[in-house]
Amino acid sequence: MKLETFDRIDNISRRGLLGAGGVFVLAMGLPRAVLAQATEPPKYGADAQSGGWRDDPALFVAIGEDGTVTITCNRAEMGQGIRSSFAMVIADELEADWARVRIEQAVGDEARYGNQNTDGSRSMRHLFLPLRRCGAAARTMLEQAAAKRWGVNVSEVAARLHEVVHRPSGRTLGYGALAKDAAALAVPDHRAAVTLKAPAAFRYIGSTDVRAADGVAMTTGRAGYGIDARLPDMLYAVIARPPVYGGKVKSVDKAAAQAVPGVVQIVDIPAPALPSAFQSLGGVAVLATNTWAAIKAREALTITWDDGPNGTYDSVAYRAELERSARAPGQVSRSDGDADAALGKAAKRIEAEYYIPHLAQAPMEPPMALARTSADSCEAWACTQDPQAARDLIAEALKIPVAAVTIHQTLLGGGFGRKSKPDYVLEAALLSRAAGGKPVKVVWTRQDDLHHSYFHTVSLERLEGGLDASGRAVAWRHRSAAPSIGSIFGPDPKHQLPFEQGMGLRNVAFAVPNFQAETCAASAHTRIGWFRAVSNIPHCFAVQSFVAELAHAAGRDPKDYLLDLIGPDRTIDPRAMGDTTNYGEDPARYPVSTARLKAVIAAVANGVGWGRKLAPGRGLGIAAHYSFVSYTACAIEVSVTDGQLVVERADIAIDCGPQVNPDRIRSQMEGSVVMGLSLATLGEISFKDGRVQQDNFDGYELTRIDAAPKITEVHLVGGGAWDAPPGGVGEPGVPPVAPALCNAIHAATGKRIRSLPIRDQLSS
Amino acid sequence: MQLTINGKNHIYSGDGEMPLLWYLRDLQGLTGTKFGCGAGLCGSCTVHLDGAAMRSCQLPMSSVEGQSVTTIEGLSADGEHAVQRAWREHGVAQCGYCQSGQIMQAAALLAETPKPSDEDIDAAMAGNICRCGTYARIRAAIKAASAAGGRS
């Protein structure tokens, strides 16, 4: 049975799965022909996102009579700098003075603003051109208004830095003076009457001199996050949730909690049916006049739990299950040649198993939301990556029209995928209703965040390679066992969905004649969700570690071996590798380019000084990956002394096509290195008796400044052509870091790490 | 009990166990100081207590009687403390959530050690987690603030 319904979905949000008639199409076997879309041409990129895209300046640009340009941003700001980048593109084409630009967040309304789901490293790659057109259209309208005012031909005027000039006479009119007239004009038909700037004329796009939009606020404590939202008479809610996914309250004694000063109300939230999608996990909520009272009162609740079907989930036992699953044939994900036969005939056969446990996104700001619910409406403020999903979820739960739900999007103190799931926003809406309409802010503590996340999946990757007599890889078989994100939305598929397979399992650009990738069954026993870079993390860790293991077996330099494996310069249709998802992009527009992959490898190899003589105890490692239609590579130098690991240097390169905001691309790469090191060395979410074992940052450790690389060097590669298809930036930096690190450790010590996190493995 | 926050006197007569963090945020509306872990492990809640960098989530109100608290809002009148300026010049912040705590910690470091070494910086700042991974720029900004005089 062909799983056609999943073919073009790169981000399985619940809304993404709903067909045209609102029919939930995840159910296997439901023929797609039921929906009208069966005969439509495939949609890619921004066209395929729910809500599509908009470029109408009336939506995004407002100019006041004082000349202030207010740009409305329809993406969540969570550190990737999208507020600044979004506004920079519009402001550039608009010929606005950056100092006179302010930025507002759009309320959740995809019908109006187009898709707002900030996820999948899609914002700039989908919106670069629409935003340029938007700014250019607004500029055109200002020029038309000025020409009309002067009674001259519009060809005689030009917008230049917040004013329109009449070239022959030198007369000028400021944007403030023109704003009203311009707004009354019809928005020009973009494709006909609007000219985009020649890149040579860019002021902000591609510049490193643009002052970040929120810099002052973020350095003075004035930036407003979800946790900071306030309303008069607001109650604070802290919720005791079932410790096991699928559990519910068996009994609760509220008396002691009720007696804590400041407690106003204790509310039971029903547990959801499984799978729970974006529903609240349920439990017992304490509403109080301040956070501290709510926290204290929750501690005073005495609750017994019915743990439900996942009460025996144990990470140690589960690992053994994954290993058993990966050691038998699975479902074929990609098959070139005959890997089975070629492995049998190989001169040398190498096998390795790689394990990565669950991870928690752990944004520094835990999930937070404030809501005020009336009988027929709801207004909420939340640090959400997907305000429309929050809107839909609340409307459905409260049985009110979507139009009656207003979601104000605050800044996010980190997202990393956790905040694209609006369960916490729903909790606030439900509790406000239970509190008779009083505003309620739901506060997740760090323990709540670590216990009740949508965790990165857990995986066991089994690699088998066959070398010929000269050490060339002639056979490659990758069996990947990991529970799927699909398990939170519908019946557990038990095998990774096509979009997960298209994250470095099947779409590996190697010139190996016999290449097989398989998914092996793995059941989900907790909520699994997006964690920055998603399944690219375990797939790339395994693939790039294994390349180095093959190189070692062949007695060859790992970087040269990797380049040989990739093979000659060529572009590969992702579909030729079995990948029908390609991050939602058109395979014709975004083929996989081995030349681009080799270029980022060359950049980091060069940067780190690959091939130089190193002191004993030091080693270099390298890894590269294609993800989110960008190309990244990482090279790391480590020193290991008496079992102590020091990351001396990390070079990271990205080719993301056009580089709209180069400084933010650099900072995303710098941050990706740290996040990659964190998951490689420290962070593990483990389960016992169905419960998460880590309570805070003592149990779930994160990389701190003293373990950051001594030197971090970012290389921005390519980027010359502004009309080249843009690639993602937020996530691609993460996957190659862990394998580069472990390859460096092997080079330094001869010790091969196959199981993350590293923790104490070097001391033995 | 009485305490001073950013130069203003306050009187508090509630739960002595309430951490200063929640008093600042919930009762005083000073939301610049952030909550990240509630266990003194992440540094997001860092304030100055009589000049010393402290984790406000670990300071019960009963322990700060008569003392002088400075929050990020009070670090400078106009956001122009050398550390704040350096932070902006180096584009340190990504999501920005941990940065109030980072800035307060860095300001305290420079007040005590105007010319910190790399080791001094790492040691002083190791209690402040940044999930976005801005550490390389934090180091650079502290050095720049130090070179610029560092204290105000």
| Secondary structure, 3-state, A82-96 | HHHHHHHHHHHHHCC
In sequence order, the 6+-apart residues with CB closer than 8 A to the CB of A414 are: A78, A79, A361, A362, A363, A364, A365, B95, B97, B131, B132
Task: Look at residue A14 in the predicted model and tell me its pLDDT.
Answer: 41
Give the number of C-alpha atoms closer than 13 A to the C-alpha of residue A91, restricted to the C-beta side: 31
Our CA-based measurement puts residue B14 at a distance from the nearest CA of chain A, in whole angstroms, of 9
- What is the sign, positive or negative, of the torsion defined by CA atoms of A107, B100, A359, A503? positive
A4 CA to centre of own chain: 24
Q: Which of B17, B26, B80, B122 to mutate to test the interface with A (most CBs of A within 10 A)?
A: B26
Q: Give pTM, 2 decimals.
A: 0.95
Could you tell me what percentage of chain A is helix, strand and coil, using 3-state DSSP and rounding each to the nearest 5?
35, 25, 45
Determine the Cα angle at A69 with ends A64 and A74, to 5°.
120
- What is the sign, positive or negative, of the torsion defined by CA atoms of A329, A335, A340, A343? negative
Which residue among B31, B132, B135 sits closest to A228, beta carbon to beta carbon? B31
Chain A CB contacts of B79 below 8 Å: 216, 219-220
Q: What CA–CA distance (Å, rounded) separates B61 from B64?
A: 5
Q: Which residues of A159-182 are buried (b: 16+ CB within 10 A; e: fewer)?
A: beebbbbbeeeeeebbbbbbbebb
With CA atoms as reference, the chain B residue closest to A445 would be B37
Provide block-wise average pLDDT over 10 residues at a time, chain A (764 residues). 32 39 31 45 94 96 97 98 98 98 98 98 97 96 96 97 98 96 84 86 96 96 98 97 98 98 98 97 98 98 98 98 98 98 98 98 98 98 98 98 98 98 98 98 98 98 98 98 98 98 98 98 98 98 98 98 98 97 97 98 98 96 98 98 97 98 98 98 97 98 98 95 97 98 98 97 88
Contact call for A220 and B125, based on CB within 8 A: no
Task: Look at residue A5 in the predicted model and tell me its pLDDT.
Answer: 34
Contact call for A221 and B72, based on CB within 8 A: yes
Give the number of C-alpha atoms closer than 13 A to the C-alpha of residue A310, restricted to the C-beta side: 21
Task: Look at residue A193 in the predicted model and tell me its pLDDT.
Answer: 72
Calculate the alpha carbon distances from A366 to A226, A415, A506, A703, B44 in Å. 9, 9, 34, 18, 12
Task: Look at residue A29 in the predicted model and tell me its pLDDT.
Answer: 31
What percent of chain B shows pLDDT beyond 70? 98
With CA atoms as reference, the chain B residue closest to A81 would be B94
Task: Look at residue A600 in the predicted model and tell me its pLDDT.
Answer: 98
**Residue of A462, A62, A455, A443 whose CA lies nearest to A227:** A443
* ipTM score of complex: 0.98
Q: Which of A220, A230, A679, A694 to mutate to test the interface with B (most CBs of B within 10 A)?
A: A220
In sequence order, the 6+-apart residues with CB closer than 8 A to the CB of A40 are: none
Helix (H) or strand (E) holding A340: helix A339-345
Calculate the alpha carbon distances from A236 to A195, A255, A428, B21, B58 in Å. 51, 19, 10, 15, 20
Calculate the alpha carbon distances from A77 to A94, A759, B145 in Å. 22, 32, 27
Kindly compute the dihedral angle of the four CA atoms of residues B88, B94, B95, B101, in this order, to the nearest 10 degrees.
Answer: -60
Residue type, A84: S
Task: Look at residue B152 in the predicted model and tell me its pLDDT.
Answer: 66
Cβ atoms of A216 and B79 within 8 Å: the answer is yes
Residue type, B85: R
Contact call for B97 and A365, based on CB within 8 A: yes
Q: What CA–CA distance (Å, rounded) separates A596 from A569?
A: 9
Full 3-state SS string of A399-449: CCCHHHEEEEECECCCCCCHHHCCHHHHHHHHHHHHCCCCCEEEECCHHHH
Helix (H) or strand (E) holding A715: strand A711-716
Q: Which residue has the tokens 């008479």?
A: A233
Beta bridge partners of B60: B19
Residue B61: other Cβ atoms inside 10 A = 21
Cβ atoms of A504 and A626 within 8 Å: the answer is yes
With CA atoms as reference, the chain A residue closest to B27 would be A290
Chain A CB contacts of B34 below 8 Å: 225, 227, 364-365, 413
Q: What CA–CA distance (Å, rounded) separates B47 from A496?
A: 46
CB of A184 less than 8 A from some CB of B: no
Task: Look at residue B151 in the predicted model and tell me its pLDDT.
Answer: 66
Residue type, A267: V
Helix (H) or strand (E) holding B139: helix B135-147
CB of A324 less than 8 A from some CB of B: no
